[in-house]
Amino acid sequence: MTDAYGQVIDLDNLCSGTSPGVFQAPIIRRAAGIPVIEVTFNGTRTFEMLLDTGASGTAITPQMAKALGVLPEGTVLVDTAAGRIRVFRGRVSSVSTGGIVANNLFVTIHPSLPLGLLGQDLFGNYDVTIRQDVVEFMPRRQ
Protein backbone atom coordinates (compact mmCIF):
# COMPACT_ATOMS: atom_id res chain seq x y z
CA MET A 1 0.00 0.00 0.00
CA THR A 2 1.20 3.54 -0.60
CA ASP A 3 0.42 6.76 1.21
CA ALA A 4 -0.64 10.09 -0.35
CA TYR A 5 3.03 10.85 -1.16
CA GLY A 6 3.69 7.55 -2.95
CA GLN A 7 5.67 6.07 -0.06
CA VAL A 8 5.24 2.34 0.44
CA ILE A 9 3.57 1.50 3.75
CA ASP A 10 4.48 -1.90 5.21
CA LEU A 11 1.31 -3.32 6.76
CA ASP A 12 2.81 -6.68 7.74
CA ASN A 13 3.01 -5.70 11.41
CA LEU A 14 -0.61 -4.55 11.42
CA CYS A 15 -2.21 -7.07 9.07
CA SER A 16 -0.17 -10.23 9.27
CA GLY A 17 -1.84 -13.52 8.44
CA THR A 18 -1.77 -14.67 12.06
CA SER A 19 -2.27 -13.14 15.45
CA PRO A 20 0.55 -12.88 17.97
CA GLY A 21 0.77 -16.02 20.07
CA VAL A 22 -0.66 -18.27 17.34
CA PHE A 23 1.47 -21.30 16.53
CA GLN A 24 1.37 -22.77 13.02
CA ALA A 25 2.12 -26.19 11.56
CA PRO A 26 2.24 -26.40 7.75
CA ILE A 27 -0.02 -29.00 6.18
CA ILE A 28 2.26 -31.31 4.16
CA ARG A 29 -0.66 -33.02 2.39
CA ARG A 30 -4.07 -34.45 3.17
CA ALA A 31 -5.02 -38.10 3.54
CA ALA A 32 -8.75 -38.60 2.86
CA GLY A 33 -9.16 -34.89 3.64
CA ILE A 34 -7.35 -35.11 7.00
CA PRO A 35 -4.35 -32.78 7.46
CA VAL A 36 -0.95 -34.45 7.60
CA ILE A 37 1.64 -32.41 9.52
CA GLU A 38 5.22 -32.97 10.67
CA VAL A 39 5.59 -33.90 14.34
CA THR A 40 8.88 -34.12 16.23
CA PHE A 41 9.45 -36.63 19.02
CA ASN A 42 12.08 -36.28 21.74
CA GLY A 43 13.43 -33.21 19.96
CA THR A 44 15.16 -35.31 17.32
CA ARG A 45 12.94 -37.49 15.11
CA THR A 46 10.28 -36.05 12.82
CA PHE A 47 7.40 -38.01 11.30
CA GLU A 48 4.38 -37.18 9.19
CA MET A 49 1.20 -37.67 11.24
CA LEU A 50 -2.52 -37.19 10.83
CA LEU A 51 -4.02 -34.37 12.90
CA ASP A 52 -6.87 -36.27 14.57
CA THR A 53 -9.15 -33.76 16.30
CA GLY A 54 -11.29 -36.64 17.58
CA ALA A 55 -8.45 -38.54 19.25
CA SER A 56 -7.88 -38.01 22.96
CA GLY A 57 -4.33 -39.34 22.77
CA THR A 58 -1.45 -39.65 20.35
CA ALA A 59 -0.99 -42.98 18.59
CA ILE A 60 2.14 -44.10 16.77
CA THR A 61 2.94 -46.96 14.43
CA PRO A 62 5.19 -49.88 15.44
CA GLN A 63 7.80 -48.55 12.98
CA MET A 64 7.75 -45.17 14.72
CA ALA A 65 8.02 -46.86 18.13
CA LYS A 66 11.05 -48.82 16.95
CA ALA A 67 12.76 -45.75 15.46
CA LEU A 68 12.12 -43.81 18.69
CA GLY A 69 13.14 -46.64 21.00
CA VAL A 70 9.72 -46.58 22.70
CA LEU A 71 9.37 -49.62 24.93
CA PRO A 72 5.91 -50.95 25.80
CA GLU A 73 4.88 -50.19 29.39
CA GLY A 74 1.77 -52.34 29.37
CA THR A 75 -1.44 -52.39 27.39
CA VAL A 76 -4.60 -50.27 27.32
CA LEU A 77 -8.02 -50.57 25.73
CA VAL A 78 -8.78 -47.85 23.19
CA ASP A 79 -11.91 -47.03 21.26
CA THR A 80 -11.35 -46.68 17.51
CA ALA A 81 -13.61 -46.27 14.50
CA ALA A 82 -13.28 -50.05 14.07
CA GLY A 83 -14.25 -50.78 17.68
CA ARG A 84 -12.45 -51.32 20.98
CA ILE A 85 -8.97 -52.83 20.78
CA ARG A 86 -6.10 -53.53 23.15
CA VAL A 87 -2.79 -51.88 22.25
CA PHE A 88 0.61 -51.35 23.83
CA ARG A 89 1.47 -48.00 25.31
CA GLY A 90 4.82 -46.40 25.91
CA ARG A 91 6.28 -43.07 26.86
CA VAL A 92 8.10 -40.35 24.91
CA SER A 93 10.08 -37.44 26.34
CA SER A 94 8.38 -34.86 24.12
CA VAL A 95 6.04 -34.32 21.20
CA SER A 96 6.04 -31.04 19.28
CA THR A 97 4.69 -29.39 16.16
CA GLY A 98 4.44 -25.80 15.01
CA GLY A 99 6.03 -24.51 18.21
CA ILE A 100 3.76 -26.29 20.72
CA VAL A 101 5.26 -28.97 22.95
CA ALA A 102 4.06 -31.61 25.40
CA ASN A 103 6.54 -33.38 27.65
CA ASN A 104 6.60 -36.86 29.19
CA LEU A 105 3.66 -38.16 27.16
CA PHE A 106 2.16 -41.62 26.96
CA VAL A 107 1.56 -42.78 23.39
CA THR A 108 -0.26 -45.85 22.18
CA ILE A 109 1.29 -48.15 19.60
CA HIS A 110 -1.23 -49.24 16.96
CA PRO A 111 -0.15 -52.13 14.70
CA SER A 112 -2.68 -51.34 11.94
CA LEU A 113 -2.08 -47.60 11.47
CA PRO A 114 -0.43 -46.48 8.22
CA LEU A 115 0.40 -43.08 9.84
CA GLY A 116 0.52 -41.93 13.43
CA LEU A 117 -2.36 -39.91 14.88
CA LEU A 118 -1.72 -36.66 16.76
CA GLY A 119 -4.33 -36.26 19.49
CA GLN A 120 -5.72 -33.90 22.10
CA ASP A 121 -2.95 -34.72 24.59
CA LEU A 122 -0.77 -32.32 22.58
CA PHE A 123 -3.20 -29.64 21.41
CA GLY A 124 -6.11 -29.92 23.87
CA ASN A 125 -5.27 -26.57 25.50
CA TYR A 126 -5.41 -24.76 22.16
CA ASP A 127 -8.16 -23.59 19.86
CA VAL A 128 -7.36 -25.30 16.58
CA THR A 129 -8.10 -23.76 13.18
CA ILE A 130 -7.50 -25.85 10.08
CA ARG A 131 -6.82 -23.63 7.10
CA GLN A 132 -6.06 -24.63 3.52
CA ASP A 133 -2.31 -25.05 4.00
CA VAL A 134 -1.67 -24.61 7.71
CA VAL A 135 -3.02 -25.64 11.10
CA GLU A 136 -3.15 -22.84 13.68
CA PHE A 137 -2.98 -23.39 17.43
CA MET A 138 -4.20 -20.48 19.59
CA PRO A 139 -3.53 -20.91 23.33
CA ARG A 140 -6.71 -20.84 25.40
CA ARG A 141 -6.87 -18.32 28.21
CA GLN A 142 -6.98 -20.12 31.53
Reported as type and span, the H/E element at residue 65 is helix 62-68
34 burial level (CB within 10 Å; 0-12, 13-18, 19+): middle
Give the pLDDT score at 83. Answer: 86
Give the pLDDT score at 24. Answer: 97
Global pTM reads 0.83
Chain center to CA of 100: 8
- Does the structure show a pLDDT above 80 at 22? yes
pLDDT in tens, 44-95: 999 999 999 989 999 999 999 999 999 999 999 998 877 899 999 999 999 9
Say if 24 falls within a structural domain.
no
Number of domains the chain contains: 1
Q: Which residues fall within 8 angstroms of residue 35, CB to CB, at 6 or more apart?
A: 27, 50, 51, 130, 135
Q: How far apart are CA 3 and CA 14, in angstroms?
A: 15
Question: Is 118:49 a contact under the CB 8 Å cutoff?
Answer: yes
Phi–psi pair at 10, nearest 5 degrees: -85, 110
Say if 83 falls within a structural domain.
yes
pLDDT in tens, 102-121: 999 999 999 989 999 999 99
Say if 82 falls within a structural domain.
yes
Strand partners of residue 48: 38
List the domain range (segments joined by +) for residue 82: 32-139
Query: Which amino acid type is present at position 35?
Result: P
Say if 91 falls within a structural domain.
yes
Say if 50 falls within a structural domain.
yes
**Which CATH number do you get for residue 76?**
2.40.70.10
Say if 68 falls within a structural domain.
yes
Say if 4 falls within a structural domain.
no
Say if 26 falls within a structural domain.
no
Give the pLDDT score at 16. Answer: 47
